[in-house]
Amino acid sequence: MSYDLIVRGGRIVDGAGNPWYRGDVAVADGRIAAVGRLADAGADRVIDAEGLVVAPGFVDAHSHADGGVIVYPEMESTLVQGITTVVVGQCGGSPAPINPEMRELLEERYAKHMPPGIEFKITWTTFDEYLRRVEEVGVGANIAHHVGHSTVRVAAMGFDARQPTEDELEEMRRLVAEAMEAGAYGLSTGLIYPPGMFATTDEIVELAKVVARYGGVYDSHIRGEGATLLKAVAEAIEIGERAGLPVQISHHKAAGKSAWGKSVETLRMMEEARRRGVDVTFDQYPYRAGSTSLVTLLPPWAHDGGVEKLLERLGNEADRERMRRDIETGLPGWENFAGALGWENIMVSYVRSEANKAAEGKNLVEIKEMRGDPDEFTALYRLLLEEEGAAGMVIFAMQEEDVRRIMRHHLQMVGTDASSVASTGPFALGKPHPRHFGTYPRVLGRYVREYGVLRLEEAVRKMTSFPAQRFGILDRGLIRPGMWADITIFDPETVIDNATYQNPHQLPGGIPYVIVNGVVAVERGRCTGALAGKVLRKKVG
């Protein structure tokens, strides 16, 4: 028998959580053709995996690699850490569907987050048209899409801070159904972001019921991960219970001192929900800092009507004063990062303009001093105005004890919460959160090898078969004949993340080979440039 590829002599960690065993893995026509002792078999290519672990390619349960793949399909930061499938359309945002009347406005928004000179054209309207566009461009890793609740809300009713009319809600239901028909895996929400934050629980339940009809998942960046964490977890569970579908809590954490230790309670709530029959699980990235857009520091009312309105308010003295008061004292139900964490724990990770590049990697106290602004509020307002709202931040918010408790839990799976970026060139922008390059090697190198928080096989399960099962990607995530040949080969003695907050564009070590659909996508730790990924569509019915 002759195969396309044989990986010889590795320790197979099959993705199911079982102890490793020694064997060869043969690949033909993009799939795993045989596993075991294949000494007599030949192949066009042989990879010697002696001393290495041969695992299923990692399935990133929470990725923001969509949108960007249209202009950067190579997906370096994704592939080099061993990820072969990403689940995108997260935190309420997907690139489709769109309201054609908003095409230009949305293009402008995307353009603000692209490297200078890179054009971003929205050539699609429906969810299906977007998926086809990604297929045309090609993609480095497999990509499974959720439809975003905020995206659907914007398409139906714009950026307003109000409840939908019955007609608008019906339009949202229609758009969600259309996306599910096209192959979406679920519905995501981002309930700390506009306009998702303006939605009631009832609105989300109505849309989740549509997703339930198609066997999809409700995947949520919940309404708060700090002071309101417990209420927010309860809401996510309630939505799953009322709409009758599985719940995935995104990037689970206890953020800010007031929430530290509360993971004991959130994990208990989820276990209890499961006993009642609610299928709830969660993902996590292995860091004490989070990351999101800088405008998230402003109170909900400031976002009413969209970014243009927000910028107007930032220029208005009375509105600035009101924002300051709200950040100082907080508002019921609002995730107030600056008030909860303090300015010294908020680091600007990305700005668009050359003039402000020195702000990247500095916290707001340092930025205030550097700019000579009278206080941090003024520094924030002026920076946001200069950047037209397009800036990113890293927030230092979690304690290690919660990170480990959440990681150890059997309902945890791994996800990056990162987009796909490059280590050099135009797509290596700013100082993004180190999770972009480091999530998976960090779990394997630090939490498995150095700290002993997880067994190797358990960590691999959390990276492969568990997320694959969660989203219904049942032909990936295991080393078994018949599965698609997504394979990650790493050295358990040397695998490590090298990306840091100040120096985040560092390739990980100890992951020499990554195979996507039978094609070698990473060789000696470097991307080959192959666009071997597929656009995955959830099968309906």
**54 vs 91, which CB is nearer to Zn ion?**
91
**402 vs 417, which CB is nearer to Zn ion?**
417
The CA-atom distances, in angstroms, between 137 and each of 36, 84, 169, 454, 532 are: 37, 17, 33, 38, 11
Q: By rule CB under 5 A, what string of x and - marks binding of each residue 202-221 to Zn ion?
A: -------------------x
How many Å apart are CA 344 and CA 397, to the nearest integer?
Answer: 11
Could you say whether residue 146 binds Zn ion (CB under 5 A)? no
Could you say whether residue 62 binds Zn ion (CB under 5 A)? no
How many Å apart are CA 191 and CA 150, to the nearest integer?
Answer: 9
CB of 251 to Zn ion, least distance (A): 6
**26 vs 91, which CB is nearer to Zn ion?**
91
**433 vs 476, which CB is nearer to Zn ion?**
433
Q: Which stretch binds Zn ion (CB under 5 A): 87-95, 209-217, 425-433, 494-502?
A: 87-95
The full DSSP string for 341-403 is H-GGGEEEEEESSGGGGGGTT-BHHHHHHHHT-SSHHHHHHHHHHHTTT-EEEEEE---HHHH
Could you say whether residue 79 binds Zn ion (CB under 5 A)? no
Q: Which of 87, 91, 391, 515 binds Zn ion (CB under 5 A)?
A: 91
3-state secondary structure 415-446: CCCECCCCCCCCCCCCCCCCHHHHHHHHHHHH
CB of 478 to Zn ion, least distance (A): 28
Could you say whether residue 433 binds Zn ion (CB under 5 A)? no
Q: Which stretch binds Zn ion (CB under 5 A): 84-92, 257-265, 432-440, 462-470?
A: 84-92
CB of 250 to Zn ion, least distance (A): 5
Q: Which amino acid is at 282?
A: F
Q: Which stretch binds Zn ion (CB under 5 A): 42-50, 88-96, 349-357, 508-516?
A: 88-96
CB of 429 to Zn ion, least distance (A): 19
Helices and strands (DSSP H and E) totals, the chain: 17, 22
**57 vs 389, which CB is nearer to Zn ion?**
389
Question: 173: exposed, middle or buried (C-beta count within 10 Å: 0-12, 13-18, 19+)?
Answer: middle
Residue 341 tokens read as 């964490």
Q: Which stretch binds Zn ion (CB under 5 A): 28-36, 90-98, 144-152, 448-456?
A: 90-98
- Asked if 480 and 32 touch (Cβ cutoff 8 Å), the reply is yes
CB of 91 to Zn ion, least distance (A): 3
Could you say whether residue 255 binds Zn ion (CB under 5 A)? no
Element (H, E) at 110: helix 103-112
Q: How far is CA 360 from the centre of its chain?
A: 22
Q: Which residues contact Zn ion (rule: CB under 5 A)? A: 91, 221
